[in-house]
Chains A and B, each alone.
Chain A
Amino acid sequence: MNADLKKHVLELLGKDTRLDGRKALDFRKPVEVKVGISKNAEGSCQVTMGETVVMAGIKLAVEKPYPDSPDAGCLMVNAELLPMSNPEFESGPPGIQAIELARLVDRGIRESKIIDMKKLAIIPGEKVWSVMIDVLPINDAGNLFDTAALAALVALKSAVFPKLEEGEVVNYKEKTTKKLPLDLKKDTLSVTVWKIGKHFIVDPITDEEKVMEARITVATLADGNLCALQKGGDTPLTTDEVMKMIDIGIEKTKELRKYLK
C-alpha cells in the first residue's frame, strides 16, 4: 500500500542491492536445519531462514485407503498460519493463504512421487498407512513457502514408523528405526522466484513481499526435472519471464540442496 516502499525496493534493485544489503538472488544466511525438534512426532524438523522459522512434523496413522487406490497409502499436508508468528495472522480456521501454503508443499511432495505409496499398504483394500504432514510458522519474516517446503522434506526424510501391534493397532510410544519408503533420488526442493519491475529475486523479507508483483514456485527433482509449478501474485507474466524464473528456480534449488542432510 505504501507506494514509496515499492519505488525504493526498485531503486535498490537497480543498484544491485536490497533492503538488507543482499543481492537479488541471495538467500538469507544463516539457513539452519534442525531435525527432531518434536520427539513425539514420527518425524520433525525446524528450518530457519534469516529470521523466518517454520516447524514441520509428521504423524502416521493406520486408516482405510481411498476407494480409488485401495493398495496405496494416504498423504495429507496441512498448514496453520499461527497468529504467534505474524501480527497480521488471525486465529481461526485456515484461510486461503494457509491453504495455498499447504497445497504448494503438498504438490512438491506428492507430484515428485518421492514416497512409494504402494509400500504404505498394510492390508490392501482395508488398512494402509496415512502420512500427515503439518507445517507451522513460528516467526514469519518472509518466504514461508520455501522454508516450509524444506522443513517438510527434511522431516519426511527423518521420519520412522511407529510400532504396529497385533490387529494393526499403532503403538506410538515405541518408534521403530524403519524409515518411510522414500525414493531419495527424487529429492524435491522448492524455490519461489518473485518478480518486481524487471527484476527477479528469491527469499524476500516481509517488506519485500508487500511490493512484489508476481511469483512462481518451482519444485525441482534432484535430476533437474520439474515436478510442480505454481504462479501467484496479481500481475501476469510473459512466457520469457516464466522461463527465466524457472531457470532461476532450478539454479537456486542446487544451493538449497546443501541443507538436505
Chain B
Amino acid sequence: MSKLLIKDKEITVPGEVLAEGMDYLPGIGTYREGQTIRASRIGLVNIDGRAIKLIPLAGRYEPKRGDTIIGFIKEIIMSGWLIDLDSPYHAMLSLKDAGSEYIAKGADLTKYYTFGDYVVCKITQVTTQKLVDVTMKGPGLRKLYGGRIIKINTHKVPRVIGKKGSMVSMVKQATGSKVIVGQNGTTWVQNDDPKMELLTVKTIEKIAEESHISGLTDRIKKFLEKETGKKVETKVEGE
C-alpha cells in the first residue's frame, strides 16, 4: 500500500524517503528509487495531487530562456560584451542585441556599456553546452544608474516578487523605493532616502530568508508598518 511519509510544506534533505509505493509520482526535485520516492536536494515539499515536488531552498542560478535578469559587464570582446549573471555560466550580449542604436563593428564598445556596469537584460537562448545569449532590446531592459545592488537566492525570487508582483509592489509602496528583481536573484534598489533604502534591502532579505514559512505576507506587512509607522495597503494574493 502506498504511503506518504512527509507532509506538505515540510523541509526535506537529500536522500530522505518521501513516499513508499507506486501510487505517487516523482516530481521535480525528487527521484524514484525502487518502491520509494526520495528527495534529490534540500527543499520544501509540495504535494500536487499524486505528484510530489520540491521547491528548492538553495542552489545557484541556472540560466533559462525568457528570464529577465540583472548582470554586470565583466569583459568586452570584438563582437560584444560578456555579462556575469552570478551563475556558473556567463552571458553574451552581441552588438546587434545591445539596444536600439546601430553599433558599427570596431566602435568603442565602452561608450555603450563598460566594465562594472549593471544591466537589466533578457535571456534569448541557452544551448545544451550552457552558452547563453541575452538581449537589451525590449521594454524595461536597460543599463542601471545609481541605487545599489543586493543578492538574494534565485529560488526565493518568486516569493519576493509575489503573485502578479504583489509582494514587491507592497514593499515599493511602503518604502517609496524603486526595485527591480532579476530572476537570477540580483536585485536593484533605489531610494533617495537612505533609511528607506536600507529598509527596502532588509525587507527583501527578510522575505528571502523566511520565504518557506507560512504567514509571510502578514509578517512582512507588519514589519513594514512597524518600521515606517504607516499603514500598508495590501492586495497580495495567496496567503
Q: Which residues of A contact B (CB under 8 A)?
A: 1-5, 7-8, 12, 15, 17, 19-21
A193 to chain B, nearest CB (A): 22
- Cβ contacts under 8 Å, B198 to chain A: 17, 19-21
B24: interface (CB < 8 Å): no
B116 close to A8 (CB less than 8 A): no
B195 to chain A, nearest CB (A): 8
B72 to chain A, nearest CB (A): 7
Q: Which residues of B contact A (CB under 8 A)?
A: 72, 115-118, 144-149, 194-195, 198
Q: Which 3 A-B pairs have the closest CB atoms?
A: A1-B116, A2-B116, A17-B194
Known contacts A20-B198, A21-B198; decide if A3 and B116 are in contact (CB<8 Å). Answer: yes
- Cβ contacts under 8 Å, B72 to chain A: 2
B30 to chain A, nearest CB (A): 30
Q: How many A-B residue pairs have CB under 8 A?
A: 31
Task: Give A12 to B194 CA distance when docked, in angstroms.
Answer: 7
Task: Give A21 to B160 CA distance when docked, in angstroms.
Answer: 22
B194 close to A15 (CB less than 8 A): yes
Chain B residue, CB-CB nearest to A17: B194
B102 to chain A, nearest CB (A): 26
B196 to chain A, nearest CB (A): 11
- Cβ contacts under 8 Å, B195 to chain A: 17, 21
- Cβ contacts under 8 Å, B144 to chain A: 4
Task: Give A2 to B188 CA distance when docked, in angstroms.
Answer: 14
- Cβ contacts under 8 Å, B148 to chain A: 5, 8, 19
Known contacts A19-B148, A21-B198; decide if A4 and B118 are in contact (CB<8 Å). Answer: yes
- Cβ contacts under 8 Å, A5 to chain B: 148-149
Chain A residue, CB-CB nearest to B193: A15
- Cβ contacts under 8 Å, A12 to chain B: 194
B115 close to A4 (CB less than 8 A): no
What are 21 A-B residue pairs whose CB atoms fall within 8 Å in the complex? A1-B115, A1-B116, A2-B72, A2-B116, A2-B117, A2-B118, A2-B149, A4-B116, A4-B145, A4-B146, A4-B147, A5-B148, A5-B149, A7-B146, A8-B148, A12-B194, A15-B194, A17-B194, A17-B198, A19-B148, A21-B194
Chain A residue, CB-CB nearest to B199: A21
- Cβ contacts under 8 Å, A4 to chain B: 116, 118, 144-147
Chain B residue, CB-CB nearest to A4: B146
- Cβ contacts under 8 Å, A15 to chain B: 194
- Cβ contacts under 8 Å, A2 to chain B: 72, 116-118, 149
A22 to chain B, nearest CB (A): 10
A10 to chain B, nearest CB (A): 12
Chain A residue, CB-CB nearest to B144: A4
Task: Give A158 to B118 CA distance when docked, in angstroms.
Answer: 48
B145 to chain A, nearest CB (A): 7
Task: Give A20 to B194 CA distance when docked, in angstroms.
Answer: 10
- Cβ contacts under 8 Å, B147 to chain A: 4, 8
Known contacts A2-B72, A15-B194, A20-B198; decide if A8 and B115 are in contact (CB<8 Å). Answer: no
- Cβ contacts under 8 Å, B194 to chain A: 12, 15, 17, 21
Task: Give A3 to B115 CA distance when docked, in angstroms.
Answer: 9
B224 to chain A, nearest CB (A): 16
Task: Give A60 to B146 CA distance when docked, in angstroms.
Answer: 52
Which one of B72, B148, B149 has the highest number of Cβ atoms from chain A below 10 Å of its Cβ? B148
- Cβ contacts under 8 Å, A17 to chain B: 194-195, 198
- Cβ contacts under 8 Å, B116 to chain A: 1-4
Chain B residue, CB-CB nearest to A13: B194
Task: Give A46 to B195 CA distance when docked, in angstroms.
Answer: 33
Chain B residue, CB-CB nearest to A2: B116
Chain B residue, CB-CB nearest to A1: B116
A119 to chain B, nearest CB (A): 51
